Chain A
Amino acid sequence: MRPEVFKMVDRVVAIDPGLETIQCEGLVPQESSIFEGHFPGHPIMPGVLLIEAMAQTTGWLILARNRFEKMPFLATVKEAKLRTFVVPGQMLDLHSRILHEGSGFVVAQTKALIEGKPVCNAELVFRVLPWPEGRMKDVVLKVAERVEFPVAGFVDA
Chain B
Amino acid sequence: MSSTFDTVANIIAETCDIPRDTITSESHAIDDLGIDSLDFLDIAFAIDKAFGIKLPLEQWTQEVNDGKATTEQYFVLKNLCARIDELVAAKTA
Contact = CB atoms under 8 A, between A and B. Distances in A.
Interface of A: 75-76, 100, 102-105, 107, 125, 127
A102 B45 contact: yes
Interface of B: 38, 41-42, 44-45, 48-49, 54-59, 61
6 contacts: A75-B41, A100-B48, A102-B57, A103-B56, A105-B41, A105-B45
A76 B49 contact: no
A104 B58 contact: yes
A103 B58 contact: yes
Contacts of B49: 100
Contacts of A102: 41, 44-45, 48, 54-55, 57
B45 A75 contact: no
Contacts of A75: 38, 41
Task: Report, nearest first, the 4 A-B pairs whose CB atoms are least far apart.
Answer: A103-B57, A104-B58, A103-B58, A105-B41
A125 B15 CA distance: 14
Nearest to A130: B58
Chain A binding surface SS class: strand
A36 B76 CA distance: 52
A125 B48 CA distance: 14
B66 to A, nearest CB: 15
Given A104-B57, A125-B41, A125-B45, 7 more contacts: A76-B38, A100-B49, A103-B44, A103-B54, A103-B55, A107-B45, A125-B42
Contacts of A127: 41
A14 to B, nearest CB: 26
A100 B49 CA distance: 8
Contacts of A103: 44, 54-59
B79 to A, nearest CB: 17
A107 B44 CA distance: 11
Contacts of A105: 41, 44-45, 57
